[in-house]
């Protein structure tokens, strides 16, 4: 009878533990989703800025929607992961060699027959006063907590620097490739399928490559003039807004 009466009391702690684990899982999931979204946004924004900067333009002239930024950031980060995987797949022997060397070194230290490193450390610690050991370990513990609290924002910033750098490198690569290929002209460029003709009143006006566009402006590269032109969209057609210097 007593076991049957205690059954509800035994079930309550189990239910509480199960509920706590789900709460922790949800909290960590929300945290990771927030960090992941921020990383995607940083990578996508830096990609857009670096690509436009390769043409000497300001990214603020051509704002992108949040969806585009997140998807671009996703492409950048996934591309970096694939690049790392391909590098390790090609140079797997280097990783295996370093792993073997590290494993042998750890085994020699931890399983030394004479136990030399441990004996030296023990002998040296025994010579110190007990109060000094207590003070040293306590101070080290408190110092580690203070360092973690004080420098955790820097660690967070360092983690965000990685997607920013990945986005910048990918944007620089894309922008420089476009500058090189667009300069060859619409006939021989490897990206000649991107060459378009701008018309006004049904007549050809300009022939070049569309670099970027927004609701109010267009940026095109004219290979014959070797110039970047920023144009305004309006109801009367295309109006030249400004010119840039030679891109070469």
pLDDT tens for each residue of 78-94: 998 888 888 878 887 88
Hey, where are the domains in the chain? 9-182, 192-243
CA distances from 117 to 102, 114, 222 (A): 17, 9, 70
Q: pTM for this one?
A: 0.65
Per-residue pLDDT reduced to its tens digit, 115-170: 555 666 667 767 777 777 777 777 777 777 777 777 667 766 777 788 999 999 99
Residue 65's alpha-carbon distances to 62, 126, 162, 164, 206, in angstroms, are 10, 65, 22, 18, 28
Q: Over the stretch 178-211, which tens digit does the pLDDT of each residue have?
A: 999 999 988 888 888 888 887 766 556 778 888 9
Taking residue 1's Cβ as centre, other Cβ atoms within 10 Å add up to 5
Q: For residue 244, what pLDDT band results from cuts at 50, 70 and 90?
A: very low
């Amino acid at each position: 009878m007593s076991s049957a009466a205690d059954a509800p009391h035994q079930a309550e702690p189990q239910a509480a533990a199960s509920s706590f684990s789900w709460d922790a899982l949800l909290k960590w999931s929300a945290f990771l989703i927030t960090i992941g979204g921020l990383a995607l946004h940083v990578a996508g924004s830096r990609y857009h800025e670096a690509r436009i900067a390769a043409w000497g333009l300001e990214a603020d002239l051509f704002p992108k929607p949040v969806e585009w930024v997140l998807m671009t950031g996703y492409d950048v980060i996934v591309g970096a992961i694939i690049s790392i995987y391909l590098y390790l797949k090609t140079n797997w022997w280097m990783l295996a060699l370093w792993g073997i060397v590290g494993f042998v070194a750890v085994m020699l230290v931890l399983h030394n027959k004479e136990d030399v490193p441990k004996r030296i450390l023990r002998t040296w610690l025994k010579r110190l006063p007990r109060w000094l050991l207590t003070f040293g370990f306590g101070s080290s513990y408190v110092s580690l907590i203070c360092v973690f609290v004080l420098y955790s924002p820097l660690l967070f910033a360092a983690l965000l620097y990685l997607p920013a750098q990945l986005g910048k490198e990918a944007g620089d690569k894309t922008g420089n490739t476009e500058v090189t290929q667009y300069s060859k002209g619409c006939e021989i460029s490897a990206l000649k399928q991107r060459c378009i003709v701008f018309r006004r009143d049904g007549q050809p006006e300009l022939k070049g490559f569309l670099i970027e566009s927004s609701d109010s402006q267009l940026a095109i590269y004219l290979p014959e003039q070797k110039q970047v032109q920023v144009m305004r969209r309006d109801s009367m057609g295309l109006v030249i807004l400004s010119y840039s210097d030679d891109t070469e």
